[in-house]
Homo-oligomer: A and B are copies of this chain.
């Protein structure tokens, strides 16, 4: 398969002309042109319109839209429209709807409402994707297929229950293997026939949405549900491929969204795309981590920023305006971390329904004389000037942080020791320490080739699947630096504990044994005292551990385990294995990461503590350095960059150059 590639940086977003009278379309395009918009995502929620009944398809309106965009040489991102079922389908085939966690079958409404295991839904979805590909697949302006939209949610209907049993048979082979994997003799759960198994929702194993009596079952249900939707995606993808072998196919992901194992999904996607919706108070390091995760899904391949809002969301509790310059800064942050597109949801605000207050390029005012449009247009022209020089450039990182959906699920299902422990927050704490030091990070999977990194960090590596410990050991033995934390090495893929002492299969490499795990209530804390005399608060969980070869970097200051180690380091082969036995305050994590980077001879991009975000992309021997100021005040540039020229302004940086709040420079 020789796939088409992007010929330019896509700048545009979701466009819904079929919600508006045809006579208004040309005015839209006039305005888009003023903003140098060159791309549009269309047909996203049009199923009910292009298929008014079971046997009738009507592409007349879509034909016009495609023709219009083609005539203006847009890059068209063409959606398959399957993310919201037509009402007639619900009426005739109620089984297409989902049954929720509470066991309630839903009727027509909202979106993302299809049962992934409904054969009726599958039939109709495959057919519409097929018809669209047949009709538009050879249009050269169709640059990308956008399958469905923001896959997510879950279904607990009887069809899913039956499909789950089939999935389990394929996974376990025998009922005995399943009983063992789920430790079914606990609470007398042993099953003898496959059809004794039921879905783990509020009517069976579920204890509130987030907890479960049997993590093994619920974990498999999450895998099954992710796989079920992935099968939906693959089915549409294959239907498209039957008519169009060249165009990129994607579906838009959602960062750290919990329900789907995106590493598994990305394998089936030609290019990753995602929707970035930070809240007014989301730290920039969090957005950066999400971008790096999206880039990591396909091992560094550039991705698409499929959606962001030009200014305001509508569905957050407090939908602040993006301050002047913030949207531009966030757009360049995406590019800095690997995006080859800057796309908005949405190009034009809806007149009604729940997203009508969501920001758009064309506001309800209907014209271009708005602050937001001006910023969109300025950015459009700036990107146009930049041209394709950044396109397909790559990020080089010597640090990998493991992100793993199995772990995410398993850790958060765990009953005990501390309910406040959440997965993404733990990952972000370590990511942030590198971010603050301007050290590039790849977000990697447990299946990554660790040898390409000097440092691998795996906070709360609770679930360690077969073979992983051995691969990590090999990495360290060959000179790598590996860091992990409390609640690591605890369970296997089925959430069964590795017996013999925590951290199980990681114990040998780490040179420690964790005898006990103390849980601290929110009002409680301890302190970690380092050899250099620095002291940091720690809380949440406190491992009580024994050194088995490792040496201590820091010890607890108080409580009955005062003086025992909380942070350790173990020489293992050519490398070192680090362990952090409690949740340290950010400065404490920074302190550890500093030592870790030193051990790996990794340096920050600047020695100054500027608070700036500084990252690079490389292409054909050229390095592009992105410097962003997410602080509220202007910031002088580090001395390293004086004398270089900013690609955006064309100006040379001098001693006097200071970067305003939300300002950006790109240096080559």
Docked pose: A110 CA to B187 CA in angstroms: 7
Contact partner of A84 among B52, B108, B187, B321, CB < 8 A?
B187
Chain B residues within 8 Å of A198, by CB: 90, 107-109
- Residue total for A at the interface (Cβ-Cβ under 8 A): 117
The reply to whether the CB of A496 lies closer than 8 angstroms to some CB of chain B is: yes
A632 → B minimal CB distance (Å): 11
Which A500-539 residues have C-beta < 8 A from chain B? 500-502, 513, 515-522
Docked pose: A498 CA to B192 CA in angstroms: 58
Q: Is the CB of B104 within 8 A of A499?
A: no
The reply to whether the CB of A318 lies closer than 8 angstroms to some CB of chain B is: yes
Shortest Cβ distance from A349 into B: residue = B497
The reply to whether the CB of A357 lies closer than 8 angstroms to some CB of chain B is: yes
A361 → B minimal CB distance (Å): 14
Contact partner of A315 among B202, B205, B280, B415, CB < 8 A?
B415
Contact partner of A416 among B90, B313, B364, CB < 8 A?
B313
Chain B residues within 8 Å of A187, by CB: 45, 84, 110-111, 353
Which of A104, A214, A320: most chain B Cβ within 10 A? A320
**Known contacts being A88-B193, A516-B372, is A188 close to B49, with CB within 8 Å?**
yes
The reply to whether the CB of A8 lies closer than 8 angstroms to some CB of chain B is: no
Q: Is the CB of B84 within 8 A of A49?
A: no
Chain B residues within 8 Å of A416, by CB: 312-316, 319, 357-358
**Known contacts being A109-B200, A501-B365, is A87 close to B515, with CB within 8 Å?**
no
The reply to whether the CB of A64 lies closer than 8 angstroms to some CB of chain B is: no
Which A187-205 residues have C-beta < 8 A from chain B? 187-193, 195-198, 200, 202-205
Chain B residues within 8 Å of A102, by CB: 104
Name the segment of A162-170, A178-186, A258-266 touching the other chain. Answer: A178-186
Chain B residues within 8 Å of A358, by CB: 416
The reply to whether the CB of A467 lies closer than 8 angstroms to some CB of chain B is: no
User: CB-CB contacts of A192-223 with B at 8 A, as 1s and 0s?
Assistant: 11011110101111110001111110000000
Q: Is the CB of B19 within 8 A of A183?
A: yes
Chain B residues within 8 Å of A316, by CB: 416
Chain B residues within 8 Å of A71, by CB: none
Shortest Cβ distance from A86 into B: residue = B188
Chain B residues within 8 Å of A522, by CB: 318
Chain B residues within 8 Å of A513, by CB: 365
Q: Is the CB of B351 within 8 A of A215?
A: no
Docked pose: A42 CA to B104 CA in angstroms: 39
Chain B residues within 8 Å of A104, by CB: 102-103, 202-203
Q: Is the CB of B419 within 8 A of A318?
A: yes
Q: Is the CB of B311 within 8 A of A45?
A: no
Chain B residues within 8 Å of A19, by CB: 183, 185-186
Q: Is the CB of B87 within 8 A of A192?
A: yes
Docked pose: A517 CA to B363 CA in angstroms: 12
Contact partner of A501 among B91, B193, B364, CB < 8 A?
B364
Q: Is the CB of A321 within 8 A of B371?
A: no
Q: Is the CB of A352 within 8 A of B496?
A: yes
User: CB-CB contacts of A71-104 with B at 8 A, as 1s and 0s?
Assistant: 0000000000100111110110000000000111
The reply to whether the CB of A414 lies closer than 8 angstroms to some CB of chain B is: yes
Q: Is the CB of A560 within 8 A of B324?
A: yes
Which A609-656 residues have C-beta < 8 A from chain B? none
A507 → B minimal CB distance (Å): 10
Q: Is the CB of B353 within 8 A of A81?
A: no
Docked pose: A667 CA to B522 CA in angstroms: 40
Docked pose: A175 CA to B629 CA in angstroms: 53
Contact partner of A520 among B18, B320, B415, B519, CB < 8 A?
B320
A556 → B minimal CB distance (Å): 13
Q: Is the CB of B192 within 8 A of A53?
A: yes
Chain B residues within 8 Å of A185, by CB: 16, 18-19, 45-46, 48-49
A151 → B minimal CB distance (Å): 15
**Known contacts being A108-B198, A353-B183, A370-B515, is A319 close to B190, with CB within 8 Å?**
no
Docked pose: A320 CA to B541 CA in angstroms: 9
The reply to whether the CB of A154 lies closer than 8 angstroms to some CB of chain B is: no
**Known contacts being A104-B102, A188-B84, is A352 close to B314, with CB within 8 Å?**
no
Contact partner of A354 among B190, B213, B317, B352, CB < 8 A?
B213
Docked pose: A349 CA to B498 CA in angstroms: 12
Contact partner of A90 among B45, B84, B196, B200, CB < 8 A?
B196
Chain B residues within 8 Å of A330, by CB: none
Docked pose: A416 CA to B357 CA in angstroms: 6
User: CB-CB contacts of A314-336 with B at 8 A, as 1s and 0s?
Assistant: 11111111011000000000000
The reply to whether the CB of A159 lies closer than 8 angstroms to some CB of chain B is: no
A302 → B minimal CB distance (Å): 30
- Return 25 A-B CB contacts under 8 Å, by A number: A45-B185, A45-B187, A49-B185, A53-B192, A84-B188, A87-B196, A104-B202, A107-B198, A110-B204, A186-B350, A186-B353, A207-B354, A214-B353, A314-B415, A314-B416, A317-B420, A318-B417, A318-B418, A318-B520, A319-B417, A320-B519, A364-B498, A364-B499, A371-B515, A371-B544
Inter-chain pairs besides A183-B350, A211-B354, A357-B517, 16 sampled, C-beta below 8 Å: A45-B187, A48-B191, A103-B104, A106-B203, A108-B196, A109-B206, A110-B204, A186-B352, A186-B355, A207-B354, A215-B352, A312-B417, A312-B519, A320-B521, A355-B415, A365-B499
Those 10 A-B pairs whose CB atoms lie nearest each other, nearest first:
A109-B204, A183-B352, A314-B416, A357-B416, A87-B196, A186-B353, A352-B496, A84-B188, A318-B521, A45-B188
Q: A: which residues have CB within 8 A of B? A: 16, 18-19, 45-49, 52-53, 81, 84-88, 90-91, 102-111, 182-193, 195-198, 200, 202-207, 211-216, 280-281, 311-321, 323-324, 349-358, 363-366, 370-372, 414-420, 491, 494-502, 513, 515-522, 544, 560
